[in-house]
């Protein structure tokens, strides 16, 4: 019979999770991840531990493709090596390389056609074809992970003791939840000058890019297993919350655009003539445009006493005064509800 243990945790609570198990198990389950028994070797007290956690947004929703690593400072031996120190000059997270890039886990190649890469992290092919990169990766990037579709990550085999954990997130490269420049402008994280139209800008100074979010904190790694009376056992859990720590909320939106035209006052349809149009009504050369506002209502998830959805007024930006002097408008509206729009024009 298969032996497995499901370890329960609370999202957003950083803690060392205490577990007491025997050696006869196949795997441990925590979050959406597994630790296999074959990955653990037997000794009196393990000299390594495991870090697990979740990168989340919107009160617990997992963020995929976030890059997580244990930062390892450049040691004195490699500092004297011009080749290695050029590839990895980072003695602290504040250091930059010769091109001005800080320590980062972001790719230098695009993840998809419209993605603007802005990092220096090498590809798998780079590592396989460059012996020096293999040495740098094995020593300084050995303990890294990428969050899965649930936003969870696991780093196995981290030496026991105090470490700095670092997270890099490109908001334009988180799968189906990737944000556009307009999304960041709408939430106040970016300005028109910080983006390039419908694309993000790239820069060697990652700190100035609104689409890049990074975290770091100090954590204590405890032995994964051993004798309880000898070792302080545990699985290290640490989460990162984009909403609470970076004020980011992901909200799907749709672009609502349109235009309005009307006849001039002389061709207006009046009640005095029975509502009949004039001979000049509708002539293209006679139509006019002007500014106005849009009133909107939306359908909520609540229902009334006979099961009909309850409607409510929805306030558009600028109080709804979004129709310009040419009679056109284009705005973003959230897609979490059905929207009914009622355009009105004040002048025509």
DSSP 8-class letter at 93: T
Q: Which residue has the higher pLDDT, 252 or 236?
A: 236
The answer to whether 52 and 33 are in contact (CB under 8 A) is yes
Placement of tokens 């405890």 in the chain: 222
Q: Which residue has the higher pLDDT, 220 or 318?
A: 220
CA 3 to chain centre: 36
Q: 318: Cβ–Cβ under 8 A, 6 or more apart, which residues?
A: none
Q: 273: Cβ–Cβ under 8 A, 6 or more apart, which residues?
A: none
pTM of the model: 0.73
CA distance 122 to 202: 17
pLDDT tens for each residue of 20-29: 666 566 777 7
Q: Which residue has the higher pLDDT, 338 or 282?
A: 282
* Residue 184 bridge partners (DSSP): none
Give the per-residue pLDDT at 340.
Answer: 44
Give the per-residue pLDDT at 302.
Answer: 87
Among candidates 305, 310, 169, 192, which has minimal Cα distance to 242?
169
pLDDT tens for each residue of 112-158: 999 999 999 999 899 889 999 999 999 999 999 999 999 999 999 99
pLDDT tens for each residue of 317-345: 788 888 888 889 888 887 755 444 445 55
Give the per-residue pLDDT at 338.
Answer: 43
Placement of tokens 């890059």 in the chain: 67
**Chain mean pLDDT for the chain:** 85
Take residue 25 and report the two structure tokens written for it.
Answer: 């198990």
Domain ranges for the chain: 4-246, 253-345
CA distance 90 to 103: 7
Half-sphere exposure of 23 (CA within 13 A, CB side): 8
Task: Examine the pLDDT at 39 and tell me if it is beyond 80.
Answer: no
Q: Which residue has the higher pLDDT, 184 or 280?
A: 184
């Amino acid at each position: 019979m298969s032996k497995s243990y499901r370890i329960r945790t609370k999202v957003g609570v950083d803690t060392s999770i205490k577990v007491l198990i025997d050696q006869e198990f196949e795997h441990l389950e925590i979050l959406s991840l597994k630790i296999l028994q074959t990955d653990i070797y037997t000794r009196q007290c393990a000299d390594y531990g495991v870090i697990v956690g979740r990168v989340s947004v919107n009160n617990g929703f997992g963020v995929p493709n976030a890059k997580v690593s244990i930062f390892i400072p450049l040691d004195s031996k490699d500092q004297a090596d011009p080749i290695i120190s050029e590839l990895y000059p980072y003695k602290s997270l504040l250091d930059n390389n010769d091109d001005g890039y800080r320590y980062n886990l972001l790719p230098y190649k695009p993840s998809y056609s419209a993605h603007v890469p802005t990092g220096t992290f090498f590809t798998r092919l780079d590592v396989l074809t460059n012996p020096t990169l293999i040495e740098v990766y094995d020593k300084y990037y050995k303990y890294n992970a990428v969050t899965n579709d649930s936003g969870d990550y696991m780093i196995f085999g981290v030496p026991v003791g105090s470490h700095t954990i670092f997270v890099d997130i490109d908001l334009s490269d988180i799968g189906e939840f990737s944000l556009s420049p307009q999304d960041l402008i709408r939430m106040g994280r970016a300005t028109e000058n910080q983006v390039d139209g419908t694309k993000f800008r790239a820069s060697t100074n990652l700190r100035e890019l609104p689409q890049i979010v990074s975290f770091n904190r100090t954590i204590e790694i405890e032995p994964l297993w051993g004798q309880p009376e000898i070792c302080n056992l545990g699985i290290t859990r640490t989460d990162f919350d984009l909403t609470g720590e970076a004020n980011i909320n992901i909200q799907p939106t749709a672009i609502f655009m349109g235009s309005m035209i009307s006849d001039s006052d002389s061709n207006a349809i009046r009640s005095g003539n029975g509502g009949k149009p004039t001979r000049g009504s509708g002539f293209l050369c006679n139509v006019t445009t002007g500014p106005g506002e849009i009133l909107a209502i939306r359908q909520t998830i609540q229902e009334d006493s006979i099961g009909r959805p309850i409607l409510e007024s929805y306030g558009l930006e600028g109080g709804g005064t979004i129709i310009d002097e040419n009679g056109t408008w284009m705005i973003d509206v959230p897609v979490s509800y059905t929207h009914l729009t009622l355009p009105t024009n004040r002048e025509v």
